[in-house]
Structure 1
């Protein structure tokens, strides 16, 4: 079930965005929950309660505007995708500081919404595609977004989850080379011969280390650093 919140202080604008989403829902045969919010307070409450996957947020609202609200959303839900909606193109430069998912022009609502929703749905489907791994005792199924990185340690292959737990995989049937072949299309990068990292978890790339969102630090081999940066930027642009 995809959850989308729409926030605009003008009811006509909210309904216009709702109609566009419903058209896309019908065309793509989506299971979808929509939450319509008339101000920042309602949106913040909806995010706390329903944890939407995507927020469409008007920038120029009365009271707390979209920029201020987006900053608060970033504190509540670090990975929440925020799609700004605006008629004022000069505000785009200020909004870029908040690293939004994108910008929808109200004057080209259908065109922009279609483009961003196609990108969002492609990412959503990849993020919710269960990955199967051979554990030591049974088969494990896990979402890509729940994996931080995988490493080889001696003859072991260890899967590190975003919640801090670890799973030992069956080394006889699982190698990092095979995992790289399977997971690269889902946003995983081979940063070192012993490490395969989830792009979603990368916070910063240094000359010889990757810093992850939860504080882990992974080595990057010298011969791979340029490729790692290139693949990460390609993933970010998708």
Structure 2
């Protein structure tokens, strides 16, 4: 019953990707493109590529359009980490992979929530697997939650859900980066927890289920989310709640391939 409920609540949007490949070396950018396109095509995914080797072209990009990006870190006068900052600000859900010769730049990736860091001298060995992992991550970030409200079927992308609040028999879905402030519909918080906890939601209180992506501070008795939202945290279950959050956050740490 639980599995059926999850399948009804959560589904993936149709997979069609915009991919940015950026390196100031024309040979390297074409090499990357060939490897990435080959692996993407093997997965049967519709994709459109923007290939950039002239950094002057970066000023003309629509950063909101990209789902997946493979970025060189050191591009002469242009810093690939700065480019990643722009992309992350425009599309927080974009999956960013750094491709470079310089291992010392690795810590910079945490600032922009980079997914992986690939060394150029291991591309053929490591990049195919990292592409598959990046696609899995993209799919996770592009699920939608489906529910009915006033006889209308509603789909809300998971990344637009800040938290859910249970008020008697009514579920209030509080939104972020969305035209609406919230949705009200009938559902139990237990059902929502069963469906959403595997994809990054945490039950911090009997009445609140939060999107861990938007947690800024979690401490004894309260949690602060983006948009300056503060919610109570169960003091009796705080140790378990904290451990679940630490485990989830630790799973986001990317490695070097």
TM superposition score category, shorter chain reference: 0.7 to 0.9
Aligned to 1:59: 73
Q: CA RMSD in A?
A: 2.3
Deviation of 1:125 (Å) = 1.8
- Alignment map for 1:77-88 (pairs within 5 Å): 77-88=91-102
Deviation of 1:85 (Å) = 1.0
Aligned to 1:184: 197
Deviates further, 6-15 or 55-64: 55-64
Deviation of 1:95 (Å) = 4.7
Deviation of 1:193 (Å) = 0.7
Deviation of 1:32 (Å) = 0.9
- State the TM-score, normalizing by the size of structure 2: 0.81
Structure with the largest fraction of strand: 2
Is there any run of 5+ residues in structure 1 with no aligned partner, and where?
Answer: none
User: 1:67 and 1:130 mapped to 2: Cα distance?
Assistant: 30
Aligned to 1:215: 228
Deviation of 1:27 (Å) = 1.6
Deviation of 1:63 (Å) = 1.4
Is there any run of 5+ residues in structure 2 with no aligned partner, and where?
Answer: 1-15, 253-257
Q: Does 1:127 align with 2:141?
A: yes
Q: How many residue pairs were aligned?
A: 234
Aligned to 1:19: 34
Deviates further, 90-99 or 58-67: 90-99
Look up the SS of the partner of 1:139 in the other structure.
strand
In structure 2, the CA distance between the partners of 1:166 and 1:93, relative to structure 1 (3 Å rule), is closer
1:28-55: CA deviations, max 9, x gaps? 111111111124443353243x520122
Larger RCO, structures 1/2 (Cα 8 Å, 6+ apart): 2
Deviates further, 78-87 or 19-28: 78-87
User: 1:64 and 1:117 mapped to 2: Cα distance?
Assistant: 25
1:153·1:194 contact (CA, 8 Å) conserved in 2?
yes
Aligned to 1:71: 85
Aligned to 2:18: 3
2:72·2:98 contact (CA, 8 Å) conserved in 1?
yes
